[in-house]
Structure 1
Amino acid sequence: MSVTERPLQTPCEWCGRAVAQPPTGRLLRYCDRSCRQRAYEARTAKRRLQDDVDTGRVRAQPAERIVERVVRAKYPSTAAGWEKALDELRAQLADGRIGPWNAPRIDRAIAAVDEQLQAIETAAVPRPRPSRETFAVDQPPAAAAVPFAGERLAVIEARIAAAGGTLSTTLEHLAGDVGIGVDELRQAMLEFERLGFLAARRRGTVVPVDELAVHSRFELCSI
């Protein structure tokens, strides 16, 4: 008597799922063509990689990574910003951070700026200066009676004078004194700053009005 055994089911050699075996013929190793192809790729991948390395199609050591970094200087965009930058230049010249051998180069640059400023002043059409009404220091005008720019400037100057020449305030508080919104106050102060009437400072350093936060305290003074 002869006894033979034939498996009825085996696991797929790639994915492990059950493979039903036929009653006769070669045993199936994979459940479908996809698993057969993936198993073939896995078997031959190492050999193909080594062949590519040997023929130079693939580098054994990757190329060096090269990065170019470009740093662009950020220049001020307002008169107050340039005033702050020039004040910093003065400080660096005074304490020696910029050596005296750089003085001729800086002098030429400043001379060119001065020449351009003179050309602008010569060609510029004089702008009308907002009226400055005079109010008693101890009796500043009511906020409701300040609808125009000149009168707003007068109210702010009255507050500055009442504070002894330097007013410590915030945009929110000053807007309440003048009787207008914070955004409207900021626009008015930007115009006054541009015309050279007022300057905002923080710890002695000029700060552009458009950089002031609503609740940030600053010192306001007339120029």
Structure 2
Amino acid sequence: MDTDDTPRRSAAPAAGRDHTTEQPVLRECAWCGAEIHLTPRARHQIYCSRSCRQRAYELRTAQERRDADAAAGRARSAEDGPVREVVERHTVRVHTRTRSAPVRSPKPAAPAGAGVDLRARAVQAHLEAVAAAVADGRIRSHDHDRVWRGMRALMNALDSAHPGGLDALTGRR
């Protein structure tokens, strides 16, 4: 038989004595400072979330690694001060100069149909020859569309070039 002589505490306070218990109800997160409302099951909670606990762990282990490396002589200690850097700076300046040279205008190209006589009598004779060729059947019916487009272009040019347009040419008012 084992006997345990350690005094047992009873759940109820002894008669004539006051019994006070203190339990934290609210705590600040050790990482971000947010309020944590403690529940009876989580009285030991010191971080508000898993991400705060992870950040604190990363900081703690990084400090431990830095201290171990500083003790071994592989890293600077935090008391050594800031790291000084030597910066080499290169400046490139670009100067742009604009020079203007006289632009030589190209010689005007020969007008379309440079070998064709464009005097009014020659044009009239050519158009009458085309009319005779259409009437004789020398210009086939599948080419009539091309002839018509050329005539329409000529009529539009005459309408816009002549004072009063085609109406003045035909004598209409």
Fold conserved between structures, TM > 0.5: no
Q: Which has the higher helix share?
A: 1
Could you state the TM-score of these two structures normalised by the residue count of structure 1? 0.26
Could you state the TM-score of these two structures normalised by the residue count of structure 2? 0.32
Could you say which structure has the greater relative contact order, defined with CA pairs below 8 angstroms and 6 or more residues apart? 1
Q: Which has the higher strand share?
A: 1
Structure whose alpha-carbon radius of gyration is higher: 2
